[in-house]
Amino acid sequence: MTDPSPDLADLAALAAALRALPPSLGPVRLVAVDGHAGSGKTTFAGRLAAALGGAPVLHLDDLATHREPFGWVERLRAQVLAPLARGERARYEVYDWVAGAFGARAELPPAPVVLLEGVGAGRRAVRPVLAALLWMELDPAAARARGEERDGPELADFWAGWARAEQAHFAADPSRPYAGARVDGITGRIAGSTLSEPFQVVLTCDVARI
């Protein structure tokens, strides 16, 4: 399948709209990209970051662990949110999914826009400091099938456990109802609030192969 480039004009418009938002965390506009695992969050966040002129991206996989896939809130607050709120550079430990332990450290500058990408990025504990929440619209079964195809059969057990944890998380703490916009996980179209219909498409960005 051909993977066409996203419409740069539309990406630029979205980036401009995000830059125009008031800061939500010190000098930072923190923008969350949330959705089911395999829905296309990482690739879309990368494209959006490029349209923002190289905006920093924090991947929540760096803070989650095998034992606590959603137990990263305090690490996020202490190591990332608190320093950014002071206008300081954040320094955080990165979890090594092979070694099963935290190892290397990474830094995140207090840029005008910072992207927070990962399952649960728009959770209740984080929403008060978000300038915007984007939701990747792809149903859990389709997202899981995409992820399993990407990762191969050797990670089938991991995906089974992850699916249960993700389902429990979103049942208790859903993000989608609070999203200001949703991104179609197949076509890449971006529409308005998840709480209203009809949706007005403002962006087309192919993510069919994410």
- Asked whether residue 3 is assigned to any structural domain, the reply reads no
- Asked whether residue 31 is assigned to any structural domain, the reply reads yes
Positive or negative, the Cα torsion across 85, 41, 124, 59?
negative
- Asked whether residue 168 is assigned to any structural domain, the reply reads yes
* pTM, two decimal places: 0.84
- Asked whether residue 78 is assigned to any structural domain, the reply reads yes
Q: Which of 23, 205, 202 is nearest to 114 (CA)?
A: 23
Domain with 13 in it = 8-191
- Asked whether residue 12 is assigned to any structural domain, the reply reads yes
The mean per-residue pLDDT over the stretch 79-94 comes to 98
Q: How far apart are CA 143 and CA 137, in angstroms?
A: 9
58 vs 184 pLDDT, higher one: 58
pLDDT value for 76: 98
pLDDT value for 158: 67
Question: Which pLDDT tens digit goes with each residue over 106-143?
Answer: 999 999 999 999 999 999 999 999 999 999 988 887 77
Supply the CATH number for residue 75's domain.
Answer: 3.40.50.300
- Asked whether residue 165 is assigned to any structural domain, the reply reads yes
Tell me the backbone φ, ψ of residue 184, rounded to 5 degrees.
Answer: -65, 125
**Structural domain total, the chain:** 1
